[in-house]
Amino acid sequence: MLFYFTSTGNSLYAAKQFDEELYSIPQELNKTTRQYKADHIGIVCPLYEFDLPVIVKDFILHSKFETDYFYIVMTYGMHHGGCAVRNTEYFEKAGRRIDYFNTVKMLDNALPVFDMDEQRRIDPEKKVDEHLSLIKSDIEKRRHYIQPAIKEEIDFYENFIENSAAFSAALKQPKYSVSDQCIGCGICSRVCPKGCIRVTEGKATYDRTNCFGCMACIHACPQKAIGYAEIKEKNPEARYRNPHIQLMELIRSNQQI
């Protein structure tokens, strides 16, 4: 049994390598009671600012899991910042035992920081499939392992916390805008895990109240009509979806409207 969250498909691609019984976290969160029992239970999701996305944290803290082996794998793009140790301690304080916590470097979809065309170019260097198969083998062996927090990653994380408060707030509670390029196709509203976008009178309207900044809508818009209102993007013309994942899979995973 594996629960996942994804905005552009990396984490769904990773999840598919580890298990066949997949459940989308945004869909599970619509259930009023969540009690799960299985021999092994996994969580796969992207890393947001060296942490779990708030939607995933909520899911873990407000669901009941009965299992002999609980694992978390996070996909990230550049620096994991020692998230495994920090989050294992956090969850253990909250009474959740974590048996395995690892990360896998994939393409970085953070538009304010990276150009997706450039990211595609360096993607092969990350050897994603090799790393995924090592993690798959760990999970099959029920290996107990928490990825150590090496100094370089801790330094990177601490520097970010110290110097990037305003940027971090702008990512966590973003302001997106919809341009006149919008043709009202509604794809943005269907990939949003929080139902923040509706199409009215042929145009997408975005309400940031529940938005936690996953960028799924921005990446999926075929017109490139959605973007940050206040942050400059590296390349507003480049968008991303994991090449192994279909748009319909993102919609089935996240759609709330």
Ligand X SMILES: Cc1cc2nc3c(=O)[nH]c(=O)nc-3n(C[C@H](O)[C@H](O)[C@H](O)COP(=O)(O)O)c2cc1C
75 contributes a contact to ligand X by CB under 6 A: yes
Q: Among 2, 3, 6, 196, which residue interacts with ligand X (rule: CB under 6 A)?
A: 6
Q: Among 26, 42, 193, 213, which residue interacts with ligand X (rule: CB under 6 A)?
A: 213
150/27 Cα distance (integer angstroms): 35
CB closer to ligand X out of 24 and 189: 24
Q: Using CB under 6 A, which of the segments 69-77, 124-132, 180-188, 191-199 binds ligand X?
A: 69-77
87 contributes a contact to ligand X by CB under 6 A: no
What angle (nearest 5°) sits at the alpha carbon of residue 206, between those of residues 211 and 255?
Answer: 65
- Three-class secondary structure of residue 34 per DSSP: coil
Q: Among 3, 50, 70, 206, which residue interacts with ligand X (rule: CB under 6 A)?
A: 50
**Nearest in space to 184 (alpha carbons), one of 163, 198, 172:** 198
52 contributes a contact to ligand X by CB under 6 A: no
Q: What is the DSSP letter of 234?
A: S
The position carrying tokens 């919008």 is 182
The minimum distance between CB 169 and ligand X, in angstroms, equals 12
The minimum distance between CB 50 and ligand X, in angstroms, equals 5
Count of residues in the chain: 257
Separation in Å, CA 9 to CA 76, 150, 161, 170, 207: 12, 28, 27, 23, 23
Q: Among 29, 72, 98, 110, which residue interacts with ligand X (rule: CB under 6 A)?
A: 110
CB closer to ligand X out of 9 and 82: 9
One-letter amino acid for residue 22 of the chain: L
The minimum distance between CB 45 and ligand X, in angstroms, equals 7
Q: How many CA atoms lie within 13 A of 200 on its CB side?
A: 6
257/168 Cα distance (integer angstroms): 28
Q: Token pair for residue 166?
A: 């305003």
CB closer to ligand X out of 8 and 63: 8
Phi-psi region of 30 (alpha: psi -120 to 50; beta: other; left: phi over 0): alpha
Q: Among 3, 71, 76, 91, which residue interacts with ligand X (rule: CB under 6 A)?
A: 76
The minimum distance between CB 119 and ligand X, in angstroms, equals 8
Q: Which residues from 111-170 bind ligand X, rule CB under 6 A? A: none
The minimum distance between CB 201 and ligand X, in angstroms, equals 29
Q: Which residues from 223-242 bind ligand X, rule CB under 6 A? A: 242
8 contributes a contact to ligand X by CB under 6 A: yes
161/164 Cα distance (integer angstroms): 6
Can you give the binding site for ligand X, defined by CB under 6 A? Answer: 6-11, 46-50, 75-79, 106-110, 171, 213-215, 242
